Structure 1
């Protein structure tokens, strides 16, 4: 796998490229919401709260989260993105409606992903509530037990386990220009709309990251 660094990021953030599995046809696109992502009509639309949240976080995008890009006036509505839940059954982000989410795409073969998982786990342990949750989605395409074993070995206990071995979620975000590789992390508002997106790793339990999340939630 090749690694690249986003030129616009003041801090060093490694991104591992994803070779999208061939054969993701229209059938999978329909199931996993590739065609369901859409731009909101603007401040008067259903994403108005997330547009306001994106404006609040702009002054706080620095340090550990300097590579985070706040959403513009027409953020993506991502509530239709679907993947497998902890029970192995399909679930969509709409199941978390009413919560602010930090949605993280990761894989065991992605070195920077592996390094940031403990921070995501600590963030969920310290800040997870009925108002906020970290939703980490594993993208390993082979051996579904491998990522579970990895998380167990490093002591991850607070994060729920979600998986998308089809890479449908990644492909959906890639087609909208939101994901260039792994890890990809998106801050999503209670309305199911994008607040900000980051390509590359971060210390998600750092003061910088928590300040952004707090501001996004209006606290």
Structure 2
């Protein structure tokens, strides 16, 4: 477990809100403005193929506890396979590029303090559990060039996570339109077909036993 713990972990009040409303959008989230017209992704849609992922989210509810209690199961079948961003070399990617893997998709920015605090924990989670069946995909949405996100990763020892970017913030705007992103950080658990399993807004201790238990249960189903 990393020595540095995320700031603003979900309070009991927020956890209760999450249980009722399915999202945490309180003080833990850093709010951002929608910019531009998105990243050109097609509208995601609920499909019959994603019904198993919705059922999986419900089955994982007992594991959404403690440090990850704010993770809420998908309320309807939803495909996110066309959600788009870029890879380390600037190549276009979508969630579909990770087909066959359970993905923990996290959106973060260097100006978001809770994001900065949880990045070492996400790095530790990838180091501990990352394999050909699971990957933490942390997408930076800083506008401008790569200087700030790359410097942050170097200064904080983020050496296991792949480098993913979307300087247009289109990935955030696309998720916002689906009612999944209210601020930063936002984290989505997605199955190997690109379907939403569960989601949360706000930071979490992703290197905790609670988080590892949730991911292990998700990859075992």
Tell me how far 1:129 sits from its aligned partner: 0.3
Task: Say whether 1:51 aligns with 2:57.
Answer: no
Report the CA distance between 1:142 and its aligned residue. 2.2
2:46 paired residue number: 39
For residue 106 of structure 2, give the secondary structure of its aligned residue in structure 1. Answer: strand
Question: What is the RMSD of the two structures over their aligned residues, measured on CA atoms?
Answer: 2.0
Are residue 67 (structure 1) and residue 64 (structure 2) matched? no
Q: Give how far 1:8 is off.
A: 3.6
- Alignment of structure 1 residues 46-195 onto 2, 5 Å: 46-72=49-75, 74-195=76-197
Moved more, 141-150 or 114-123: 141-150
| In structure 2, distance between residues paired with 1:13 and 1:130 | 35
Distance 2:190 2:51 in 1: 13
Deviation at 1:115, TM superposition (A): 0.1
Q: 1:13 to 1:201 in 2, by over 3 A?
A: farther
Which whole-Å CA distance do the structure 2 matches of 1:94 and 1:164 have between them?
A: 16
Structure 1 stretches of at least 4 aligned residues deviating more than 3 Å after TM superposition: 5-8, 10-13
Deviation (angstroms), 1:13 = 6.3
- Which residue of structure 1 lines up, in the alignment, with residue 15 of structure 2? 9
Instruction: Say whether the 8 Å CA contact 2:114–2:185 is kept in structure 1.
Output: yes
2-structure distance, mates of 1:166, 1:58? 34
1-structure distance, mates of 2:57, 2:174: 21
Aligned-partner SS, 1:196: strand
Deviation at 1:218, TM superposition (A): 2.3
Cα distance in 1 between the residues matched to 2:100 and 2:49: 13
Tell me how many residue pairs correspond in the alignment. Answer: 204
CA contact (8 A) 1:53 1:218 kept: no
Gaps of 5+ in 1: none
| d(CA) in 2 for partners of 1:171, 1:9 | 25
Instruction: Give the distance between the partners of 2:131 and 2:195, measured in 1 at CA.
Output: 19
How far the C-alpha of 1:52 sits from its partner, in A, is 2.8
